[in-house]
Every structure is written in C-alpha cells, then in structure tokens.
Amino acid sequence: MLYTRPPNVSSFTGDIIENDFRAIVIPVFKKNNKVAIEGVAEKADSFANGMFKEAIELGQFKGEVAEILKIFTKNKVLLFVGLGELSAKDEEKLENMRRAYAVASGNLKETSEKVLFAVEGSLKADLKREAVIGALLGSYALEKFKKEKKTKLKEVYFNIEKEIIDEATAIAEGVYLARDLANAPPNEVTPSKLVEKVKKLFKGLKNVEIEVYDYKDLVEKGFGGIVSVGKGSDEKPRLLILKYKGGRKDEKSLAVVGKTIVFDSGGINLKPSQSLFDMRADKAGGATALGVFWTIVRLSLPLNIVVLMPAAINVPSGSSYLPSDVIRMWDGTYVEVTNTDAEGRLTLADALAYAAKELDAKEIIDLATLTGAAWIALGPLIAAYFTRDEELSEHITSASKKSGEKIWRLPLEDSYKRLFSKKAPVGDIANAVARAGGAITAALFLERFIHGKPWIHLDIAGPGIGSDAQGLAPEYWPHGIAPGFGVRLLVEYIKNKTIEN
C-alpha cells in the first residue's frame, strides 16, 4: 500500500465470550423498536451478570444504529453496538452494519490489544462482509506525516467465514489506497513520484501490466490536453496506464479513467486562497481508479480492465498554458481555452479518447472532482453521474444502493452543446462555457471524446474531497479528509457485471 494498511483480519471459531480477548464487540439488533437481548448479546449479558439489561432499563442503551455502550467486567471490555431494526430493508441493514462496526473499531483503534468483532451467525453473507468493511474503514487513520502515531489496532478477528473476510479485506485495502493517495500532500506525490509508487505497489502481481508515458512521450504522441495543463510545473505530467488481464484474451477491456491533478492552483486563472488547501485531493478520481484496480487484482476477478491516470500539476508560471490558447487534443479536436481552472476535463478528454480509440475499450467510466457546480447541487455526500445508456444507469444505481455510496443522475442536455462553439471563435470548442449548469456542460465536453463508447461520468467533487462533510458523513468516513469515495461503488458495479457475463 502507499502508506496505510488495514488491521490484519482473521477468522475465529471459538467461544464468543469465554476466550482470551480483552475486547469484544457485541452486536445488538432491535425488534419492534425494542432492544433484542438474544444470541451474542444474551451471552454477553449473562457474562456481565445482567449489567447490560440494567443499562437498558436505565435508558442507557436503546439499540439505535451506531449507538455504543462499554461494560468493563472480568478483565474484559464488552463494547455493545446498536444495529437498528432487524426487519429493516436489506440496503438499510447493509449501511447499518457498516456504520455500527465502524463506530466500534473507531472506539478501539488506539488499543494494542487483539479485538474480536462478533457477528450473528444467521446473517446473510453480504451483511457479514459489510461488518468487516465497516470495521476496517472505521479504523483508518493517515498518520504517515504525524510524529505521534495514535492508532495501534493491528489485529482483529471475526467469527465468520474466511472467504468473506478475504473479499472484505480486498475491498477495504482499495479504499485505504484511494484515501492515502487522495490525501497525500503534493510534495509527496508528484507525477513522477506517483509513477514510482504505483510501480512498486504492483510489482510482481499476476496479470498486471504498467505503461507510462513521460512528458516527451506525451508531446510526441499528441496528448495536447495533458501537456498543456502540466507544462507550467517544473515537475512535468505523466500518463499512467494499468492493465489487468483476468478475462479472455479476446475480450475487450473495461476502462476506468481518473482525474489525477496532484495539485490544482487554477493555473493563470488562479483560485482564491480559501479554495486552494483542499486541492491536494483534486487527484481523488485517479486515487479511486487506482483503489478499484487494486481490489479487482486482489479478488482475481474474471475480466480485463484498464485504468488511465493522467497525472499533472496545474500551476502558473512563464510556461503555463494561457486563456485563449488553442490546444490540439490527442484525437485532433482543437480546444480553445476560456479558463485554465477547467483543466481536469482537458486531461480527461485525452485519456478518454485514447481509451476509446487506441485501446478500444468496451465501456468507459470516468471519475473526477470536476465541478463546483456538482458540489453546490448535491452537497458533500452525493456524486453526480451522467450517462445516455439506460442499462449502465440501472447497473450503477443498483451498485450505489448496495454500497451506500450515493449518486444522482443529471441530464446530458443537448441544447447546451451550442455554447461550446459560441465560446470558441477560433477553435472547435471551448473548454468552459457557463457557470449555470456547469456540471452538465463539463459532462457534455467529456462526452465529445468517448467516440460512441458506452460511458458513465461520475462528478465526485463533493464526496471525493469530503472536507465539508463533517457532521454529515457516515461513521466509516475519515474526519475532514477525502474518504476514497467510489471504490466500493465501482467494485460492486464491476462484480455484478462479471456475474452477469
């Protein structure tokens, strides 16, 4: 991993209460709005000589989702955690499991003791999996750059099947990787350093190929968008291409393209100072794409996938691209620059066109912290998505409901296309055309470069950066930083597609 690994998870088959663990997490459901003292909870209450029942009678525990109660007895910590109604809808229960086990692990992550997370054995496999994922995500802390490391939880156990644990761990690792990369400071992850870190990360893994275009390659091959955005920095851009061959040799790849602007100052159209700090996370789309790739490889899913990460730093200098420049893109389109702070769509456009035409991808998904308009419209928890393909829309919506990562479809309004030529008296199209409907026009710009391929665009400007989600976000998000949004969504989406095929 880049910096952070989840705690090691093992399967436990012994007695849930009578064991050597000093800390045990006890799940508690409600039935008909009353705390259900049965199963694991009943055994734990008996071990604690009825102290849990007493706490309920005194109104100290009501079984609400993510509510916790600690009882210290017989040299153990019993951490009771509420899971809400047992009769809740499946999607709601999945989210309840994630939230509850995240709170439990968050409360215990400063302990160096081994922790047992109990799960009711009668639950479905997907609920058990989400318990593990919630616990692992709740224990996340990026402490690479802190002198004092507080997180000490390194080893946890679940009384569930190993295969469920293995799947959950692979997914959590992908989210960890996305969080680490999205939140890494720009001096730590320049385009060249990113390439080296990724090469090291995937070295020796089966069916994985990595291809890198450096600045000279990008210029020679005509990646005008990537070159223009990144040429103002002394640290020049790269295009990182990761391929996984898990399917048939003759099978076309699914392409995932992630915006990887490792820092965005706005270029010559410089951002106001209050907007700059979060721009380390302008690489969150690429970070998510990388996290998805990691999980797909770890799970050895039977498909071919290619991830494209156009990495660049957008800063003003004597060599920066300028408003009114006309850029020849990789596919030959001439784009007139109306705003250098609409840089992500330029790097994405080159990568999308390359995925569509050169790599002949069967389907393309892109993720980008692209527009403030999407963030203003949907807030810090919900991503906008765009597609003209109803089948793809149904698939991504289904994956969203199961993963709990929220998305909302916005329209690709064709009448707005006229703005692109109106704003570009010299070139074919302008890169930015209007504040009103800005998320839609940005999506329409990208659509021009997919060359007819099935496509989903995810504008993750709000949840991708995540800094203003404090007090609103679920408990398994880290506080005040990018949460790795989209990894679980796309892994679920891709898994479903492999099952379907």
Give residue-wise pLDDT tens across range 256-288. Answer: 999 999 999 999 999 999 899 999 999 999 999
Tens digit of each residue's pLDDT (9 = 90 or more) over 45-88: 999 999 999 999 999 999 999 999 999 999 999 999 999 999 99
- The beta-strand segments (E) located in 329-440 are 334-336, 363-368, 382-386, 406-409, 429-430
Return the closest-CA partner of residue 209 out of 277, 283, 305, 116: 305
Tens digit of each residue's pLDDT (9 = 90 or more) over 407-429: 999 999 999 999 999 999 999 99
User: Which 8-state DSSP code applies to residue 60?
Assistant: S
pLDDT beyond 90 at 1 = no
List 345, 448, 453, 488, catalytic entry: 345
- List every span in the chain annotated with CATH 3.40.630.10: 175-500
Strands 76-85 and 238-245: unpaired
Helix H, strand E, coil C: the string for 169-197 is HHHHHHHHHHHHHHHCCCCCCCHHHHHHH
CATH class for domain 175-500?
Answer: alpha beta
* Structure tokens, 204: 């020796």
Does the global pTM surpass 0.85?
Answer: yes
- List every span in the chain annotated with CATH 3.40.220.10: 8-160
How far apart (Å, rounded) are the C-alpha atoms in residues 463 and 378? Answer: 9
pLDDT beyond 90 at 20 = yes
How far apart (Å, rounded) are the C-alpha atoms in residues 190 and 187? Answer: 6
Instruction: Give the pLDDT confidence score for residue 428 in this predicted structure.
Output: 97
Is 271 considered catalytic here?
A: yes
| Bridge partners (DSSP) listed for residue 158 | 11, 117
List 271, 328, 357, 417, catalytic entry: 271
Is 345 considered catalytic here?
A: yes
* Cβ-proximal residues to 458 (8 Å cutoff; 6+ apart), any chain: 285, 365, 366, 367, 368, 383, 384, 385, 407, 486
CATH architecture, range 8-160: 3-Layer(aba) Sandwich (3.40)
Count of residues in the chain: 501
How far apart (Å, rounded) are the C-alpha atoms in residues 461 and 384? Answer: 9
| Three-class secondary structure of residue 225 per DSSP | helix
In this structure, how many other beta carbons lie within 10 angstroms of the beta carbon of residue 162? 11
Helix or strand run (H / E) with residue 372 = helix 372-378
How far apart (Å, rounded) are the C-alpha atoms in residues 353 and 447? Answer: 10
pLDDT beyond 80 at 501 = no
How far apart (Å, rounded) are the C-alpha atoms in residues 177 and 148? Answer: 21
In this structure, how many other beta carbons lie within 10 angstroms of the beta carbon of residue 495? 19
How far apart (Å, rounded) are the C-alpha atoms in residues 329 and 342? Answer: 15
